Amino acid sequence: MQSNNRHWPPHELTPHKRDFFYVGGHYQQTDAQSASIMVGQIYVEHLTPLKVTRPYPIVILPGSCLTGAHFLNTPDGGPGWADYFLSEGYEVYLVDLPSRGRSPWHPEQDGPRFVFDSKFAQEMFTATQITKKWPQAGLLTQWPGNGTKGDAIFDAFYASISPSLTSGKELAQKTTDGVVALLDKLPGPCILLTHSQSGQFGWSIADRRPSQVKGIIAIEPGGPPFISVSFPPFGSVVRPFGMTEIPVEFDPPCDPTSATPIPMHTGPEIDGFACTLQASPARKLKNLVNIPVLMVTAEASYHAQYDWCSAQFLKQAGVQVDHVQLSSVGIRGNGHLMYMEKNSNQIAAEVLQKWLEGQRLV
């Protein structure tokens, strides 16, 4: 994922060791007598700096139709967040979600996949200032190049897009199972870094293994609570457990078989967006209350409309959330793909690393 039109000068990447492995998955019988194949396993790329100086590795989960490769470098040839964290002394684990990228897809067992088209990518991610589909969209200035089809940097980005499972619920369950298997393989706890679609998986993974997750960095996590507002089916309840499609543990418990396991209540409204929260008394996300969370929102992203509501839901459920809107700390012009943009390392250093230091996770 790199164009020939480089925004960045040639640079030396942080020296490191690289290996890869697969985790999770199970054997499933095929139509052939006594024959079976493995399904559900995930690809993990493990990067280790020559000198590890940080106690907890960073486990990175990409967003929809993206892969771990998107964190290796930016589409204009700059160093990605993986290199930034290596330079800071962290081990890094890059995950390809189930049935995507280098994680195998078996059509008959895994079901259909989809991929977003170039028009969608331009309007939602890379050239939002042209169509201005939401109030903040015109503020995008940090995407390298003009963000449209035919631009070398956009084409390099779009060429890297990978089909993703159509069923969000199936992907959530398989990702949670696979990454839990990864956490069980690690020698100690980790820090989860999620983006967009994988944000909801971070909550369910930490719910399953709270002692193995020291902190969560949620880059514009899938939201808002309960209701779909940015993608079809618009206005429908797509996350019945608030921030997840699959069950997580609440206190008091909820009935995961119910059509509405968590009673909802329309809460505060900001700039025309009405936030749906839990009805009172709110249940607590019992396994997440001791895990600090950093939520990061870009100035020009469609998430600028509602990430505040996602943070409200988590706080209502007892989760320790620091919500940083980049514009509030003087970082302007970013979109949903902030880690691919011109000032990506500024965000990593001044927001992510600063928060980790403040939480004493370094």
Active site residues: 196
Cβ burial of 205 (10 Å; 0-12, 13-18, 19+) is buried
SS3 track for the chain:
CCCCCCCCCCCCCCCEEEEEEEEEEEEEECCCCCCEEEEEEEEEEEEEECCCCCCCCEEEECCCCCCHHHHCECCCCCECHHHHHHHCCCCEEEEECCCCCCCCCCHHHHCCEECCCHHHHHHHHHCHHHHCCCCCHHHCCCCCCCCCCCCHHHHHHHHCCCCEECCHHHHHHHHHHHHHHHHHHCCCCEEEEEECCHHHHHHHHHHHCHHHEEEEEEECCCCCCCECCCCCCCCCECCCCCCCCCCCCCECCCCCCCCCCCCEEEEEEECCEEEEEECCCCCECCCCCCCCEEEEECCCCHHHHCHHHHHHHHHHCCCCEEEEEHHHHCCCCCCCCHHHCCCHHHHHHHHHHHHHHHCCCC
CA–CA separation, 164 vs 147, rounded Å? 22
**Amino acid identity for residue 211 in this structure:** S
